[in-house]
A and B are shown apart, each in its own frame.
Chain A
């Protein structure tokens, strides 16, 4: 019970997963959002912690950008995305006066808020806590990994797009994981191929295979290729539930595959 008490607000959280990439715009927030939705559909309770302080995307992707965070005795109450409270979210997006306000902060201020995000959010009981991050290997990442270390995260999902310019940055992120002792759950190759809606020809808009090669080269699991899927972009723009609405679309099987990998990894530990 003592250990429970020390875990404080994270006491009821079973598994913590970080979503990382050295490269920007590769789909970290997309994978975080869809992973949360897919886990919800398997009956899990999921929290999302958005530590991208300068460019928070998750509130829009879950269509809760107008909501507020409130205070309770044990800390900050996250925003619940649905009536049944199966997905909860904490993001700096909820703390801004106007949505377009720039958060012009240097490292120490970002670190301080991340520490509070980790210790002061009253998550309650969660099967999974997914942490969406900005690109890079700097303040936000060091602060997140350091403050989560006592809670032994399950590991990190690394997202890349197939082209060499992006894979190069993700190689550096792998080194970050190694140096900080963070387990790599695996690599996702996102935006891998685009099927023309007019003629069904598949174009490798951002090349192909780079993520898979990197996984092999680094000896870490490859979690699959998620194609460029306009229905996915549209769902995220409107904050709709892609997993619920588009089970026939091209990105669906890949996203479900990643979710299953994570569920199977998590199951032995949950006992």
Chain B
């Protein structure tokens, strides 16, 4: 029985006790009681807590803090839902920021099992090089570097069949062992969900202060219900939410120019969700098939379709994010 506390209490309804293990019972991974306390008996994490995890915080956190001293702003791109456009957004946020030649921009793709950044940024087949000071990122432009597990695979068919600890190890390496150099913006693209990758990135960057998270969603409730969970995750781990982007919001028929809601906002869309949860809405981006095409060919759609409504909306959103980073929360005042 994996959840002994639950089994005994589970007379009728199988309830939330299963999900929220009472915190006073779990000593926490940082404690020297980790894996040994009475409450740990039978917990699925017991093995991990008692052996693999050293007592106290991971020394890598300090090393990463050192490494990140040369990185001004860190932005996570998150969504609870899959396929809403996180990687497309991450890549184009980077393209947009890197238009200013004086800014150094980096993209870190921590979607370990489904890395799409290499394809979207036209870097498929590229390999990471080892230098004296670590792994060097792959560069799209002089001021735009990228790191992804995709650069470490030998074929497009390679599957990364890894459990959590291995993924976490990779993320740690990406932060600690990559020669990032002086960076103005580090953009982190993530897989959907609220699990190992998300906990690890927040934990490893925890001592360095993250500017915040941009949350991507589509307008329908099936997506929003997962995105609310993601926002609750941010609150749980004290990650500021920069704002929400509603993607694939309306589709304009190329023939008759009339708009259709392919993913209808049946519960009020991102707008309503943002009101209810009191987070800013950064903007809405329409569904434009050209965006998909640009991503498939690894081009930036800013240059492909400079005047489309989607591009204009993107530019507006990027401006807001820049404002957030520079005005709203000056570097010195932020607390980790």
- A residues sitting closer than 8 Å to B (CB atoms) are 22-26, 29, 53-55, 57, 60-61, 68-71, 76, 92, 94-97, 99-113, 115-116, 134-139, 141-142, 161, 163-166, 168-169, 171-176, 179-180, 194, 196-199, 201, 203-207, 228, 230, 233-234, 236-238
Contacts and interface: CB of A to CB of B under 8 A. Distances in A.
Contacts, number: 255
Q: Is the interface of B mostly helix, strand, loop or mixed?
A: loop
Interface in B151-197: 156-165, 167, 191-196
Interface string B106-121: 0000001110100110
B332 to A, nearest CB: 30
B308 interface: no
A234 B266 CA distance: 8
B159 A176 contact: yes
A69 B6 CA distance: 14
B228 A100 contact: yes
Contacts of B167: 138
B172 to A, nearest CB: 14
Given A139-B164, A196-B258, A97 B222 contact: no
13 contacts: A60-B225, A95-B16, A102-B230, A108-B48, A134-B82, A137-B160, A168-B116, A172-B158, A179-B159, A194-B260, A199-B258, A203-B254, A205-B262
Contacts of A174: 157
B292 to A, nearest CB: 5
Contact of B113 (A96, A102, A136, A171): A136
A203 B287 CA distance: 12
Contact of A172 (B80, B159, B165): B159
Contact of A111 (B20, B44, B83, B236): B44
B89 interface: no
B207 to A, nearest CB: 20
B322 interface: no
Contact of A112 (B2, B81, B253, B255): B2
A24 B85 CA distance: 10
A97 B20 contact: yes
B258 A54 contact: no
Contacts of B116: 165, 168-169
B273 to A, nearest CB: 10
